Structure 1
Amino acid sequence: MAERGSLRERNRRAVEREISEAAMRLFVEQGFAATTTDQIATEAGISPRSLFRYAGTKEDIVLGDMLAAGHAVQAALRDRPAAEGPWEALRAALQVLADDPDNTSERAFRIAEMFLHTPSLRARRLEKRLGWLDLLVPEIERRLGHAPGEVPDPAAHAIVSCALACLDTATEVWVRRGGQGDLTEIFDEAIRAVRG
């Protein structure tokens, strides 16, 4: 039974990936605002009704993996050595985003460029990114020697918020430079500025 569930999940991920790739092709060719969900469905070879079973909006198509990415960062953070400081552990855990094989430099640039130039995407991304605080703050609290509670420790919350702001800043700088330079190095530069 579990095997069938995992097959169903693999099939779902394959369809989501096809939808995402079809949407990205259209977004790159026509722009985000000019692309309709009907066009995405046609490009993906599915009905508009089927499209809405996988993603409710165009923004969801682009941002669909953000929760999974947040869980990946959380798992990587948990796996960091206990003696590692909170900043070092969080910085290393965030590296899983850069190491994602689906996140090629060109794809990452195109998506980041869309975020920069599309207010609705920026807003939805921020909303989804705020969910990462619930995932990451308790891990940083443990690292700081605090028991996670209903009210987050201000130091842990500040560290996670700053690290995510550094990530967003680095991405925006990288896009404004036309994708030139190493995004990880720009991120590290932003973290050094905050910690300095």
Structure 2
Amino acid sequence: MSTRPEVSLAQRKRQLVSDELTEAALQLLASKGFDAVTVDEIVSAAGVSKRTFFRYFASKEDVVVQFLTDMGADVARELAARPAGERPSAALRKALSGPLAACADHSDRALRVVQLILRTPALHARFLERQGRWRGDLAAELARRPDPAPDLDLYPEMAAGMALTAFNTVLHRWSDSDGTADPWKLTEQAFAVIAPALDGVPSET
């Protein structure tokens, strides 16, 4: 008899617990500050034991790192799903729209999380470290797509880097504005600047 349903159920339960811990941790960290929050407070808010927490995460910093890892995986999957004939600038902009949509849809909570990451040196360092992996994943996906500059072997990695620079610029501008700036408008402006280099053609108005 197949055990796949049981395995699937176990995986769903594990993901549910992980999501609850992540949500509780991010809310506390964003509202109180990284240094002020303890693991005991996180497990209390999530309604689980400390032992359960350490089955999923090595530290409170690890909660944020996993959150960023999952975000990067979502972006790479979205890029892989974009139509093959779509211009690279549009494909990358839309692939990165998921995190930015979260900013627009859940502005108060998202703003606190973004500001927590950008304003906490240890978390910002991990954010940039994780983005190094995002860059590799995005470059690998770009290399599979029709290349507007096939004679340039460096194109996929450089294009991924430019897209992430635009993404980071939007996050910083939105964070510095305390959420008053429109992340969608900022994204359009940022990608308009880099579109000619990404697409190898003059940008459209």
Interval containing the TM-score (normalised by the shorter chain): 0.7 to 0.9
Instruction: Decide whether aligned partners of structure 1 residues 2 and 134 sit closer, same or farther in structure 2, where only a CA change above 3 A counts.
Output: farther
Match of 2:137 in 1: 135
Instruction: Decide whether aligned partners of structure 1 residues 153 and 184 sit closer, same or farther in structure 2, where only a CA change above 3 A counts.
Output: farther
Match of 1:155 in 2: 155
Residue of structure 2 aligned with 1:70, choices 48, 72, 78: 72
* Aligned counterparts of 1:28 and 1:65: Cα–Cα separation in 2: 14
Aligned 8 A contact 1:82 1:143 in 2: yes
Q: Identity of counterpart residues, as a percentage?
A: 34
Code of the residue aligned with 1:21 in structure 2: it is E
- Give the aligned CA root-mean-square deviation in angstroms: 2.3
Q: If the length of structure 2 is used for normalisation, what is the TM-score?
A: 0.82
* Aligned counterparts of 2:124 and 2:175: Cα–Cα separation in 1: 14
Query: Are positions 1:125 and 2:127 aligned together?
Result: yes
* Aligned counterparts of 1:111 and 1:186: Cα–Cα separation in 2: 19
1:17-166 map, 5 Å: 17-99=19-101, 104-145=106-147, 153-166=153-166
Q: What is the CA distance between 1:21 and its match in structure 2?
A: 2.4
Match of 2:200 in 1: none
Match of 2:193 in 1: 193
Runs of 5+ consecutive residues of structure 1 not aligned to the other structure: 147-151
Runs of 5+ consecutive residues of structure 2 not aligned to the other structure: 197-205
Count of equivalent residues? 190
Residues 43-85 of structure 1: CA distance to partner in whole angstroms, max 9, x if unpaired?
2222222211111121221232333322222222122221112
Code of the residue aligned with 1:80 in structure 2: it is R
1:4-15 map, 5 Å: 4-15=6-17
* Aligned counterparts of 1:99 and 1:173: Cα–Cα separation in 2: 15
* Aligned counterparts of 1:117 and 1:24: Cα–Cα separation in 2: 14
